Structure formats: C-alpha cells, structure tokens
Amino acid sequence: MRPLQELVRPNVWNLQPYSSARDEYKGMEASVFLDANENPYNAPFNRYPDPLQEELKRVLAPIKRVSPEQIFLGNGSDEAIDLVFRVFCRPGVDNVVAIAPTYGMYKVCADVNDVDYRPVLLDDAFQLQADRLLAATDERTKAVFLCSPNNPTGNSLRRDEILRVLRGFDGIVVIDEAYADFSCEQPFREELASWPNLIVLNTFSKAWGCAALRLGMAFASEEIIALFNKVKYPYNVNTLTQRQALELLKKPYTMDKWVADLKTERFNVMRSFADLPFCERVFPTDANFFLARVKGADAVYDYLVRLGIIVRNRSRVELCGDCLRITIGTPQENCKLLGALRQFRN
Ligand SMILES: *Cc1c(COP(=O)(O)O)cnc(C)c1O
C-alpha cells in the first residue's frame, strides 16, 4: 500500500475538523448541559446525538468481530461510499476503477465528486478478472470498488480473484458486503488486520430489515476510520436511529431467523421461476434476490406492474440483457408473483 498520506487529498489530511460542544466535553459525571444551545425542554429529542455513536459501536464490535475504532457509522452505506471519494479523490484529477455491472451509487458519487469512473466488465459468468481490473488502474487510481455478493447479479466474487486485487493494488480497495449475511462465504470484514488498504461496507438496510433507519457501516483500519470521522457531518446518525439499532442488536436471533427463512424461500422461488415457460436462465445467487433472464423482459415487467407487482428491470444493464432482478419477499408475496407469472401470455 502507498503511504496513507499519499492517498488522502491534501486538504483532508490537513483539515482541522469541526469540534462540537459534545466533542469537547467527554466526562461522565456532568448533569447540567448548557454548552450546546439546546432547548432544555422536549427530552430526549432536545439533545444532540452522540457524534461518534460510541454505545452503538461498542455493541456492534463483537457482533462484527472488529474493534469499535475500526467502525464508521453513516446515513446509509451511501454516506460511506461518498466519503471514499471526498477523503481520497481529488476532483478532476484522480480516478476509481470498479467492476461492471454493479451497484449504481459508486458511479453517481464519482460523478458528483467529479472523479473519473472506470468500469471493468465482469466475465460472462459475472466473475471478477483481477488482471483486467488491475490493468485499468494507473498512478491516479485512488480506489477500486468491488461488491460481493454483487448487485444486480447476486453472485459472490471469487475469493482468489479478490485476493489478487488486494495484493496487486496499492490504493484503497472497497469491498461492499451489503448482502454478506445471506452468503456462506467468509466475509472480508474479518480480515482487516491483513489489509491496511481495505474498506468493507455493511448495512442495516438488508438482512437487518432497517432500510428506513438509514444506517450504514464501514470497517477499516483505525487510521482510515479517523479520516472518515474528520470529514463526516458532526451529527450524521440521529438519536432515533441509534436507539432503534441498539434495540435490534439485543435480538440478533431475529435477524438470523429472517435470513434463514429468506434463504429457504429463495430456493423455492428460484426453482418455480425456472419452470416458467418464458424463463431462459436463473442465475446463482448469494443474496436476498436473484437475477433471471426471460424472453421479453420489458413485456414481463410491464405485465407485473399492471398487476401492482414491482420487480427491477435490469435489461438495459451491460451483460444483463432481458434480465429481471427479483427480491425475495414473504411467502405470500412470492406466491402472488409466481401466480401472476404463470398466467402471463406473450
Ligand atoms: C442496498 C445496497 C446497499 C445499501 O445502501 P444503504 O445506503 O445502506 O441503504 C449498499 N450496497 C449495495 C451493493 C446495495 O445493494
């Protein structure tokens, strides 16, 4: 890895971060808070939230098998993705390299930050080819974006190819593991100690069932997390979200049960989908959705919309011609989908 100081934008490296009233006072014994111009009425909403979400990180750390100092929490993973650009990439100068097809936010954040985005196509099994990815990097490449299990394809990227990227690239490697809870692969989050240039993303939006909370996680070295904390908005995760996440983490078995049920259901839905006369291919998946190639994806999609059933039409995405991406719902919802599809006539 290049020295961190060479990777970070000079203005960020030299940044004197905003210091909030809550940052400056860290003692436990105080009971009168007249330091932040808050209203003394309307508890608990009157108080600013903990800017570093320390209690939540303390509870989360053993669950995720990292230290609290290796955790960044943000307003969705999308905040962490944006911070990769704002911390490392000089607008109009630096670039990032990413697999394609993949999650759309990497490119949107690159465009917003005026950073050149270089997509490298996966092979026709939706697999990463490390050599081709590395060949697209140059001395101005600050970060590489991988997503495993990948969205919209659903498959996990091959571990040996990911390792070749980690070994072969001297900048930041982001691995988005938003769907890792649905997969049996060992998460790279547990290997932070081996890779100082690694940033792993997780989210409360999928397996934890909390997309409405807007709570995303990034795991990385203490040094990288400190940079994220310096650049983020001071109170980026609100009190309601922090509290609700703590409640949820008290019952991790709920999440395990949801995931187990969704995986069973995924198996059943994929098998039934493959039997549809217009289905050409159901692709293997490690996520809570699957990608399927059908004859006439637009017609199937429009038919479902007319019935009030919404799936994701990915047919205009490279390598995904005539493909629909289907999220696994409740058994009732999946039944409605399959029932409707069995009635479909071209
Ligand atoms: C859904 C998803 C996310 C989650 O984003 P949030 O902002 O945390 O809701 C992140 N990455 C990928 C690849 C996703 O599909």
The pLDDT value given to residue 23:
77
Per cent of the chain over pLDDT 90 is 95
The pLDDT value given to residue 103:
98
* Chain segment 272-290, per-residue pLDDT in tens: 999 999 999 999 999 999 9
The pLDDT value given to residue 20:
83
**Residue 24, both tokens:** 């400056």
Nearest Cα to Cα of residue 216 among 295, 105, 346, 116: 105
Average pLDDT over residues 242-251: 96
Per cent of the chain over pLDDT 70 is 99
Q: What average pLDDT is seen over the chain? A: 96
The pLDDT value given to residue 27:
66
* Chain segment 24-65, per-residue pLDDT in tens: 777 678 889 999 999 999 999 999 999 999 999 999 999 999
Average pLDDT over residues 73-78: 98
pLDDT value at 346 more than 90? no
Q: Residue written as tokens 């990948």?
A: 150
The pLDDT value given to residue 19:
86
**Distance from residue 193's CA to the centre of ligand 1 (Å):** 24
**Rounded to an integer, what distance in angstroms lies between the CA atom of residue 197 and that of residue 211?**
28
Strands (E) located in 110-225: 116-121, 141-147, 172-176, 198-203, 216-219
**Distance from residue 33's CA to the centre of ligand 1 (Å):** 37
The pLDDT value given to residue 258:
97
* Cβ partners under 8 Å of residue 16, min gap 6: none
Pocket test residue of 81, 106, 202, 203 for ligand 1, highest count of atoms within 8 A of CB: 203
pTM over 0.75: yes
- Tell me the residue type at 76: G
Pocket test residue of 79, 82, 105, 204 for ligand 1, highest count of atoms within 8 A of CB: 105
Phi and psi for 74 in degrees, rounded to 5? -140, 175
pLDDT value at 141 more than 90? yes
Q: In what order do the strands lie in the sheet with 279-282?
A: 279-282, 289-294, 323-327, 312-313
Pocket test residue of 72, 77, 153, 156 for ligand 1, highest count of atoms within 8 A of CB: 77
- 189 C-beta neighbours (distance < 10 Å), count: 22
pLDDT value at 116 more than 90? yes
**Distance from residue 205's CA to the centre of ligand 1 (Å):** 7
* Cβ partners under 8 Å of residue 310, min gap 6: 304
* Chain segment 80-103, per-residue pLDDT in tens: 999 999 999 999 999 999 999 999
